[in-house]
Structure 1
């Protein structure tokens, strides 16, 4: 590997108390309760997953300091926070505002924003009857887009450790194709993105680095069709949030799952007309987000195939394959890890009682550590 990429982990912020969550789940609720009450859903299924550090409050700066230290010590350079902003304002933001940004060692890492612009679904847990019932809509109007981006310009982009790529502020959007539909066309979204860039520059913050996923603009089998809209919107790079291709129910082995998805990452790099930031996943298991007393059938998220047989050694092997992809001409500047802490989707790097720091050590073994 001639150049070390930015190693970034997506961060899912639902492990602190939030007023919206309390409205639907009761006072003091966090998603740790979902993780704690997970049960095995088939023979050989390993649940619950238990955090080595316990069920801590991520909005506590002292807790976040522990996360930052572990990440930085093991080669994770950046947290890309899943950021939720609806027409009436932000959601789940205390983790970032009160935890990360007030941590004494925050300068050991950078951070950036990925706007998770999707409906909030009742999957904590989802029932067999209504497995992914929308609780409130995530529609993005022109007004909501401007409010969200202005919020980021005011609160996050000026932070001294906000991630810059080639001097430009990294900003990702989870489902830009949703915004196109909700705004009424790609030309309107294109105009709003241009105005967003202009507001960033007018604030004296320089240029914006726009990171947009490709897989919603085109089927994975024809990902090259995503090139035109990505270029039209001025994307600086492209990404995918995680791995797909979970074909065997109730369980699929990690190694063949990784093989399929690493080949897919290589194809994205080959076919896309903008640089692509590959992603690596330590696992997948959304079964904790199902009502545990319901039957476990393949009826759609959060029900569905579970990845089994993951280990730090197998994850490290996958990371080595991903690192080789970074030699390709169309490789972007980042390697994304999915995720730092999505415990109830079986996608986490934080230490647990089974593997300890093994998954973090795998990252350090492959990418080393960036001195700070």
Structure 2
């Protein structure tokens, strides 16, 4: 009997050690670009007639200069990401390699949703979805012909990004009811995280700083009434985050920190390095310049900054004609180096939530993706696993 008791204890201990080895103390969050499915509103835009969403631009891409890595070919094929079985594979793979949170790019135009099927029909209907945390980044930019691979003029507008108070009030009801209440919605300090891509567009749509603050305060009150602890507002840090005057009488300085303080934001992160570091350079130098901003971002703001790592930038599949600027010489090994830098930043800020954001899980249209391709296979995911698991 003693032998079996000791054996049982050893088995329990080994099971515990194995589980600990496969858990991460870091929240590794990858953005999801939800356009690899046949969204009904693509018909309004007259794009992607093949019925496969933006995969059409990916498999029709051509190299535009010597050594150009196009077309990028997904190792898994051109899967419908609004299919729950596909999302089950995505979730299992992400968790295996250390990505434990998805940030869904989320859109609302003309008072109705756009590109929600990957989240609603795919991810949330996957049988294993509750293993994976998720949150929303409201991508509230004006929607133009940028996505149309046939159109050289990218300035034509489909839908404006600005919303007024009534529209914001209506869609936040939807967000609270259908997303925030999910058990796996990502929270910081018990509050569901909601990121906003373009604060300037948000402020303009509401009619100014004061009106924007009222709308956000109302959003917080609604969350509390719904039984939540409030909402954790996250701003995307780049040039679209405007600078404003402080509330201190006589202080004439204009800073981005004044804006997020006045509106009551709780944290910051980036969406893509291309927003603040010029491209057409080697990935190693591009990343070094971006990583060097961590200290500045952290010290310039009175709210926490969560480090970001981008994988690549090459949006040529979206452009007919001549070559667009792109980052060169990207490898999983270089990416791994920057992940270590992000991890180091997190470790030096133990008072903050250990969150790192990555662009992206599947941004094939901009060349920035963790999903395996036929060139590097699982190389970028292996880098995440090595650093964070």
8 Å contact from structure 1 (residues 125, 288) kept in 2: no
4+ residue runs over 6 A deviation? none
| Equivalent position of 1:12 in the other structure | 33
Out of 216, 222, 228, the position equivalent to 2:258 is 228
Unmatched 5+ residue regions in structure 1? 297-302
| Equivalent position of 2:111 in the other structure | 88
Out of 207, 212, 216, the position equivalent to 1:184 is 207
| Equivalent position of 2:346 in the other structure | 326
8 Å contact from structure 1 (residues 325, 331) kept in 2: no
| Equivalent position of 2:18 in the other structure | none
Per the alignment, do residues 246 and 273 of structure 1 end up closer, same or farther by CA in structure 2, a change over 3 Å counting? closer
| Equivalent position of 2:357 in the other structure | 336
Q: Normalized against structure 2, the TM-score is what?
A: 0.86
Out of 326, 334, 351, the position equivalent to 1:306 is 326
Deviations 1:132-172 (A, max 9, x none): 42222222111111111111011111111111112111111
Question: 1:206 deviation in Å?
Answer: 2.3
Note if 1:276 corresponds to 2:276.
Answer: no
Per the alignment, do residues 193 and 247 of structure 1 end up closer, same or farther by CA in structure 2, a change over 3 Å counting? closer
Larger of the two Rg values belongs to structure: 2
Question: 1:14 deviation in Å?
Answer: 0.2
Per the alignment, do residues 154 and 287 of structure 1 end up closer, same or farther by CA in structure 2, a change over 3 Å counting? same
Per the alignment, do residues 54 and 324 of structure 1 end up closer, same or farther by CA in structure 2, a change over 3 Å counting? same
| Equivalent position of 2:292 in the other structure | 263
| Equivalent position of 1:73 in the other structure | 96
8 Å contact from structure 1 (residues 269, 331) kept in 2: no
Question: Higher mean Cα deviation, 58-67 or 35-44?
Answer: 35-44
Alignment of 1:10-159 (within 5 A): 10-23=31-44, 24-25=46-47, 26=49, 28-125=51-148, 129-159=152-182
8 Å contact from structure 2 (residues 137, 197) kept in 1: yes
Deviations 1:285-308 (A, max 9, x none): 0111101xx223xxxxxx4x2011
Distance in 2 between the 1:179 and 1:114 partners? 13
Question: Higher mean Cα deviation, 122-131 or 252-261?
Answer: 122-131
| Equivalent position of 2:377 in the other structure | 356
8 Å contact from structure 2 (residues 28, 355) kept in 1: yes
| Equivalent position of 1:205 in the other structure | 228
8 Å contact from structure 2 (residues 200, 242) kept in 1: no
Distance in 2 between the 1:287 and 1:96 partners? 26
Per the alignment, do residues 60 and 117 of structure 1 end up closer, same or farther by CA in structure 2, a change over 3 Å counting? same
Distance in 2 between the 1:98 and 1:120 partners? 23
Per the alignment, do residues 284 and 18 of structure 1 end up closer, same or farther by CA in structure 2, a change over 3 Å counting? same
Question: 1:332 deviation in Å?
Answer: 5.2
Per the alignment, do residues 218 and 119 of structure 1 end up closer, same or farther by CA in structure 2, a change over 3 Å counting? closer
8 Å contact from structure 1 (residues 116, 175) kept in 2: yes
Question: 1:27 deviation in Å?
Answer: 6.2
Distance in 2 between the 1:193 and 1:39 partners? 44
8 Å contact from structure 1 (residues 128, 295) kept in 2: no
Find the residue that maps to 2:221 and give its secondary structure.
helix
Question: 1:311 deviation in Å?
Answer: 0.9
Distance in 2 between the 1:81 and 1:207 partners? 20
| Equivalent position of 1:299 in the other structure | none
Question: 1:267 deviation in Å?
Answer: 1.5
Distance in 2 between the 1:165 and 1:86 partners? 28
| Equivalent position of 1:217 in the other structure | 241
Deviations 1:313-332 (A, max 9, x none): 11001101111111334855
| Equivalent position of 1:300 in the other structure | none
Question: 1:204 deviation in Å?
Answer: 1.1
Distance in 2 between the 1:27 and 1:37 partners? 11
Distance in 1 between the 2:150 and 2:82 partners? 29
8 Å contact from structure 1 (residues 237, 275) kept in 2: yes
Distance in 2 between the 1:332 and 1:80 partners? 16
Question: 1:186 deviation in Å?
Answer: 0.7
Q: CA RMSD in A?
A: 1.9
